[in-house]
Structure 1
Amino acid sequence: MQGMWASERRLTAIGRTALSMPAKQAMVDRQLVPGVTVLDYGCGRGGDVRSLTQMQFNASGWDPVYRPEGPVVPADVVLLTYVLNIIEDPEERLQTLKRAWELAGTVLVVSTRLTWEKNKVKGEEFADGVLTSRQTFQHLFGASELRKLVQEVTGARCVSAAPGVVYAFKSDEARIAFLARRIVPDAEWLASDDTTSAITAVVDYMEHRGRLPRLEEMPQQLAELLGHLNGSDLQRLVRRSADPGKVTDGVNRSTLTTLLFLAVELFHGRGPFGTLPLSVQLDVRACFSSYLEACKRADRLLLKLRDDIYVRGAMRASKVGKLTPTALYVHRRAVDSMPTVLRLYEHCAAIAAGRPADWTVVKLRHDGRAVSWLDYPEFDTDPHPKLVSSYSVELRSLDTSYISYADSANRPLLHRKHEFLHPEDLDVPKYRRLTDAEVRAGLYERPHLIGTESGWEAELNRCGRTLRGHRLVRAVGTADVPSPRRE
């Protein structure tokens, strides 16, 4: 990995006391699970290797400076973490990526620093990057540039797991299983300790999924509790107990979720029926006359995503979210309640450029195709939460951008929080009461002034109001400011 360019690569190695972001993402995405072997290729000082070993993973690392000894042993999962961006020679970059791919048995996890970090990298232009005063090199990647490079070298269809993190899978089955976990929710089984409660758990599954589960889909304990019943007896007991209306709702839900998955899969390269996870195969059989019919309907859904009129209509018809003249804004808790074409819109952006780990509200632009994930970490506790960061992807060009407001003295903030949520969200009444009180106090009469912290504070002072949690009260020592009379 060390070529003739001789920059001080060793100085870029960070001493970690916790898992790196890419390793954490791989754990969240269940790429790092008990039993797999892990190789950190270019491990630097070995922080991830130590952390993974402490977590009982069979992890090893190799680095040309800090761990050059011993053979490099292939592993199920290979981590190539912030290595490509410090290599000056583009050809060496390709060879390093190729070697990491050869060592991976199941999946290669590639991560690099991205272009939005350029303000953190000071130095002179050198080759296709920057040479710092410490003689370290950085090539900052665009999100789409990284995904394209990994695809070209590996020959595999790659998925952006997060900004700056790309997965390259050795098999289509593994890639499709990953996509399915992101789109088709895992079953949440009710606790069971006897036959009666086990049957209740199966009834609950059927009402949520719209079909009976196969034995292979059940938790082992549940399957053992029901082992003495034959299939027809179990079906009769469950169908007798299930609410027909809930089962119908479950069928509709599974139908839409399956269409969403198949549309995303086409966007990313659809495989044959046999490569689908078992639960998805069973959903297809339960909800459609054939896999061909399901694929055709999913194809039509993907085509609708290109239709501006259809997308705008879906946004207007959405039961969740705040619609503005340019975009629909939806809280994270309400995203799954958007029309399916809008869920597809968000998923396509996430697969193309990576969905950030921290976000609160998604913005779907209806003039063109662009998605932004906005982070308001204090949404639930702050009556007017402040924006901390925004990560955006333009779907036609796959250009990405990131803006941090963490150090800003006058951050954008939100009003009318209830509009971003599902109407049945438990917090909606509290947020709506606050909005109503603010409207009565005249705080929204100058909407062009209240979008930032300083403007909002000025309007609170003008109206003689202050906030105590999610309650609007009169400020001490101020008289009421009457609102203009409206006829």
Structure 2
Amino acid sequence: MQKIGKHVARHQYLHICLRPELDETDQRLIEAAARQASVTPGDHFNVIKLAEDRRSLTLLDYPGFFEEAFPILRRYWTVDLKTEQHRFRTYEDSNNPPILHRKELLLPKIHESFSQYAELTKSAEDIGLFDDPNRIGFLRAWEALLQQKGFRVVGHDLVPVGNAEETLQAECVRPPNGETVARHLTALTRYGLSAPMQTLARFGYLDGSKTIFDYGCGKGGDLETLRENNLMVWGWDPYYAPENEKRSAHIVNLGFVINVIENFEERIQALVGAYELADQLLVVSAMIANQEAMKGKPYGDGVLTSRNTFQKYFTQSELSHFLAETLGEEPVAVAPGVFYVFKDKDAEQRFMYNRFAHRRPSSLRIRRSAREHRPRAQVDRVQEKYAKHGELLEPLWQLWLQLGRKPERSEVDLLSITQGLGSLPAALRLIASYKGEGAEALLEDARKKRIDDLRVYFAQLQFERRKVYRHLDPSLKNDIKTFFGSLKDAMLEGQQLLFDLSQAEKINLACQQAAEHGLGWLDESHSLQLHTSLVEQLPPVLRSYVSCGTLLYGDISSADLIKIHIRSGKLTLMKFDDFVGKALPRMLERVKINLRTQKLDFFDYGELYTPPYLYLKSRFINEEFPHFGEQQAFDEKLETLNLFDFSEHGPEVDVFDAQLEARRYQVNGFELERSRTIPNIDAACGQFLTYRDLIECGETQTASRMQNFPTQPATYTALLDLAAELLDPIIDYFGMIKLTFGFCSPALAKNIKGRIAPKLDQHAAHERNRLGKPICDRKGAAVDFVIEDEDMVEVSKWIAENLRFDRMYVYGVNQPLHLSFSDAPKAQITLMTPDKKGVRLIPKTVGLESYLEADS
């Protein structure tokens, strides 16, 4: 690989203007990749990413490469040069796209802007912006870091911020209710709310506007948590709180009660009694049967446990039927074993719609604003008026985006708007004027998403065969009138979407579109796998596919991953132990749903089955997911090790752990670190050797039998890398080698007669001197070896052509070869040739290509 461009891990990045400096082979690879992806340089891409092993090549498009200090990635094509398959990804609708740092390294040094870009990089280094490169690769984290450091980017300069620079819009914006509630409720879940209460939190019912009664509250854990957060809650329990009053509330929770009542009639009485207390909504939960259930002595329609308690285990469909037959209402599944039964049908309609609605960000990034084209005086008047009424106007703007249409008078605080701005149309005109032409694109996008939401909603109604509500929610009426004209036409749109679910090619095309926008990992024509939080952003046909498939399962956000099987009409939902917080989460539960039969198959991992790792997690999330940058860096490093085959499900847990440990790697959070332990000297060091082989192989050490053990864990790691990356493949190809000199401690170096260079030769690896400084700044590790009956010059040429090495000293046909490896292999070849008198050896460094071309 030529040392031009920017080198990160085992990839080389360069701007297309550097392409002529590549060798002919690489230029042909780029041409082939561009043909495969049907793109042209300059028009579609301007940066090239070459894998070191040349197995893949990525063509990246940074539209603002020269204009932006830290260019934003718009799209890319990754081409597998072996299979000639390619993947496309666009970031045009992303709020957190990748950004490029150190862009001067991608250009020739003679470029007119090289010095300017290099100065920007130096400034960023001085400030400490690049201290943690794994966390600055995406826009949000980068902007947050800049703000934290107290700087902003102006042109190609980093300018310190002396005062708080809140813009007018930032002062006026109020977070949407969902965002405020989400933070509040996330804290609640950490206190250990029960599963049904957590569903109420997810769907926004614990915002303080609803009263809650817990029918069968037990010891009152949920009540205590909710009261601590200022919610109006009460509870009753026949054992722990029999003196409390049974009272009505907006929401009544019957949490895991009916499954512990052994008498069928009493079970019905409890259910009906709880439902009578609910003004709007009854939440019912019960234990769900799985392969680990039914442990105990059969009793009635359940079992008696070892503690002499009763448990009735329901299937999801059995629980649904029980609720429907007892209460005469159609329950709504929100999670395995958790159902909602609505008394308030308007509330049910809003809930059903909002479940499938595309949640829009509270503020979208507008690349350009047209306000600058208006006369300055007009701009000032609009800004002044908007600032004065910002508390009214900004929520109105957010509502406009949420609805995808102009809000109606009945949907806003009309009195406040008319008092402050004269009329609702006047307020909307002021918003449009302030937001500028960029707002038109946002509103059009919101309109399309709202229509898609409604199509999914009406498709779901018909799939569930629910009767059309006699009384429609007023907001839904406005939607139907605006977007479809009539309820009949709206139902037809939903019907068409249901028809599309049976078309495998349409499902496949939608999966391809989703993957191109960073919504999951596409296994070509087989499945799309993604985090459940991304489902709401999927194309309508896939959202409808998921919502129909999870009719009995309930709220998919209780799972972590969903796998959409493109041709079999199935979905798979997976739960993990800590999906967000772990680089390698382990699967705890898998549920397979047959869309056609609505059959659910549950599978739990535990004592009987080892929970498997989820490998390459970054594939299934996107740049807006927590810790995405760190996860992506972890996955790339794991793949770069080339230790495992991840083409299917990856290795078993014990195999993975053992192999990682053998190569002296350990997982620490989102970091893949080298081991800090000192191994047994007789432990395997690579495939053919032990650590002792590399430590006790020198002539002086063998003769003196002196202690020569490394003291630094990093030295053992370096010896292992040397063996695995170089010695193992050499032995595998030529046969066993004879080591003549290996690791050299400071004590051994003092006893070696002759000329050695501990500060340069890397035989000291990572050892330190008495002052605690590295003996050899090159680090890595080195050995000298010969192979019997082999021409060592020819061996050196084979190494140069096939392996990654740091430095190689060639002494002659029958002389030992000095070979080293390090974290950043330089592939430096030095020929040691005798002077004219044959007394001294003169080092001569030669280039890799010229050495391979030279005659022996």
Aligned to 2:793: none
Matched, 1:248 2:444: yes
Deviation (angstroms), 1:147: 1.3
Does the aligned pair in 2 maintain the 1:195–1:226 contact within 8 Å? no
Aligned to 1:355: 555
Aligned to 2:455: 259
Distance across 1 between alignment mates of 2:545 and 2:194: 29
Distance across 1 between alignment mates of 2:280 and 2:649: 53
Matched, 1:293 2:495: no
DSSP-derived class of the 2:568 partner: coil
Matched, 1:166 2:359: no
Distance across 2 between alignment mates of 1:277 and 1:231: 18
Deviation (angstroms), 1:129: 1.0
DSSP-derived class of the 1:353 partner: coil
Paired residues for 1:311-322 under 5 Å:
311-319=507-515, 320-322=519-521
Paired residues for 1:52-201 under 5 Å:
52=226, 57-68=231-242, 72-116=246-290, 118-119=292-293, 122-184=295-357, 194-195=388-389, 198-199=392-393
Distance across 2 between alignment mates of 1:426 and 1:105: 38
Aligned to 2:426: 233
Deviation (angstroms), 1:452: 3.1
One-letter amino acid of the counterpart of residue 173, structure 1: D
Deviation (angstroms), 1:130: 0.6
Structure 1, 124-133 or 284-293: larger mean CA deviation: 284-293
Aligned to 2:827: none
- Percent identity over the alignment is 26
Distance across 1 between alignment mates of 2:213 and 2:625: 44
CA change 1:258–1:466 in 2 (3 A) is same
Compare CA radii of gyration and give the structure with the larger one. 2
Distance across 2 between alignment mates of 1:257 and 1:457: 44
Distance across 1 between alignment mates of 2:351 and 2:486: 23
Deviation (angstroms), 1:91: 3.5
Structure 1, 175-184 or 442-451: larger mean CA deviation: 442-451
Deviation (angstroms), 1:464: 6.8
Distance across 2 between alignment mates of 1:110 and 1:144: 14
Does the aligned pair in 2 maintain the 1:273–1:281 contact within 8 Å? no
Deviation (angstroms), 1:353: 1.9
Deviation (angstroms), 1:382: 3.7
Structure-2-length-normalised TM-score: 0.48
One-letter amino acid of the counterpart of residue 285, structure 2: S
Does the aligned pair in 1 maintain the 2:666–2:672 contact within 8 Å? yes
Deviation (angstroms), 1:392: 4.2
Structure 1, 341-350 or 30-39: larger mean CA deviation: 30-39
Cα-to-partner distance string for 1:438-474 (whole Å, 9 max, x where unaligned): 4444234474683432232344467676666656677
Distance across 1 between alignment mates of 2:598 and 2:536: 24
Cα-to-partner distance string for 1:70-122 (whole Å, 9 max, x where unaligned): 87444433322222112223343233323333333322211111113844x64
Deviation (angstroms), 1:344: 1.6
Cα-to-partner distance string for 1:195-221 (whole Å, 9 max, x where unaligned): 257545545654565422335545x69
Structure-1-length-normalised TM-score: 0.80
Deviation (angstroms), 1:275: 1.8
Aligned to 2:819: none
Matched, 1:211 2:405: yes
Deviation (angstroms), 1:67: 4.5
Deviation (angstroms), 1:433: 5.3
Aligned to 2:537: 337
Aligned to 1:12: none
- Select the structure with the greater relative contact order (CA < 8 A; seq sep ≥ 6): 1
One-letter amino acid of the counterpart of residue 371, structure 1: L
One-letter amino acid of the counterpart of residue 271, structure 1: V
CA change 1:90–1:367 in 2 (3 A) is farther
CA change 1:24–1:226 in 2 (3 A) is farther
Aligned to 2:169: none
Distance across 2 between alignment mates of 1:159 and 1:32: 19
Matched, 1:386 2:586: yes
One-letter amino acid of the counterpart of residue 86, structure 1: V
Cα-to-partner distance string for 1:267-287 (whole Å, 9 max, x where unaligned): 342534852351x44333333
Distance across 2 between alignment mates of 1:28 and 1:428: 22
Aligned to 1:275: 472
Cα-to-partner distance string for 1:393-443 (whole Å, 9 max, x where unaligned): 434444434444466895322333332234777966665555555444423
Does the aligned pair in 1 maintain the 2:282–2:341 contact within 8 Å? yes
Aligned to 1:8: none
One-letter amino acid of the counterpart of residue 131, structure 1: L
Distance across 2 between alignment mates of 1:43 and 1:427: 37
Does the aligned pair in 2 maintain the 1:40–1:78 contact within 8 Å? yes
One-letter amino acid of the counterpart of residue 294, structure 1: A
One-letter amino acid of the counterpart of residue 172, structure 1: K
Deviation (angstroms), 1:166: 1.1
Distance across 2 between alignment mates of 1:51 and 1:354: 25
Aligned to 2:572: 372
CA change 1:425–1:29 in 2 (3 A) is closer
Aligned to 2:614: 414
Distance across 2 between alignment mates of 1:385 and 1:19: 23
Aligned to 1:450: 650
CA change 1:237–1:198 in 2 (3 A) is same
DSSP-derived class of the 1:179 partner: helix
Structure 1, 286-295 or 172-181: larger mean CA deviation: 286-295
Distance across 2 between alignment mates of 1:52 and 1:449: 41
Deviation (angstroms), 1:302: 1.7
Cα-to-partner distance string for 1:139-195 (whole Å, 9 max, x where unaligned): 1111121111101111112111222111111132221122223222577767x9632
One-letter amino acid of the counterpart of residue 725, structure 2: V
Distance across 2 between alignment mates of 1:203 and 1:408: 54
Deviation (angstroms), 1:348: 2.8
CA change 1:226–1:366 in 2 (3 A) is farther
CA change 1:108–1:409 in 2 (3 A) is closer
RMSD of the TM alignment (CA)?
3.9
Matched residue pairs, number?
466
Deviation (angstroms), 1:298: 1.1
Cα-to-partner distance string for 1:308-343 (whole Å, 9 max, x where unaligned): 443234323432212337532112343233221111
DSSP-derived class of the 1:275 partner: coil
CA change 1:40–1:236 in 2 (3 A) is closer
One-letter amino acid of the counterpart of residue 262, structure 1: F
Distance across 1 between alignment mates of 2:625 and 2:653: 26
Does the aligned pair in 2 maintain the 1:441–1:463 contact within 8 Å? no
Distance across 1 between alignment mates of 2:556 and 2:528: 19
Aligned to 1:4: none
Distance across 2 between alignment mates of 1:305 and 1:172: 28
Distance across 2 between alignment mates of 1:430 and 1:83: 43
DSSP-derived class of the 1:134 partner: coil
DSSP-derived class of the 1:303 partner: helix
